[in-house]
Amino acid sequence: MFDPGFWEVTVIAVLGLLILGPERLPVVAKKVGYWVGKGRRYLSSVRSDIEREFRTDELEKILNQQSTEIEELKDLISDTKKEATDVVQETKELLETSLNTEEKKKPKTNKKKSASKNKLKKEIGKTSTKKDD
């Protein structure tokens, strides 16, 4: 910005003294100093507002990026849950089929074994209904 050196200030002061005179020079210098200070404060305020807006834009970009990543993770978790549920259901069906096949192959001679198999079937049914909820 405007950065006057020693000689520039000296030339301006001498010209001001010659043009304005010794009586009005201090008053004008005070007013000029006041307005220069006010202008600098205004520019500083504008600069800080612009910097703050840039930081806000960056934070919004980061927030949007993280929101997108969170949605992708939610979709991944949902897909994984569905796959796990399908595997559990498939395993349950295979186990029930296997137990039914064994019962058909073996003659019903031992009631304790049949009772334990029925109990196992009931347990499988209970666990699958709990997981379905």
The domain locations on the chain are 6-132
Tokens 């000689």 correspond to: 7
Q: Which class for 92: exposed (0-12), middle (13-18), buried (19 or more C-beta within 10 A)?
A: middle
Q: Collect the ranges in the chain with pLDDT lower than 50.
A: none
What does the pLDDT read at residue 3? 72
What does the pLDDT read at residue 131? 52
Both tokens of 123, joined, read 């347990």
Helix/strand/coil percentages in the chain, nearest 5: 90, 0, 10
What does the pLDDT read at residue 80? 96
Rg (CA), the chain: 43
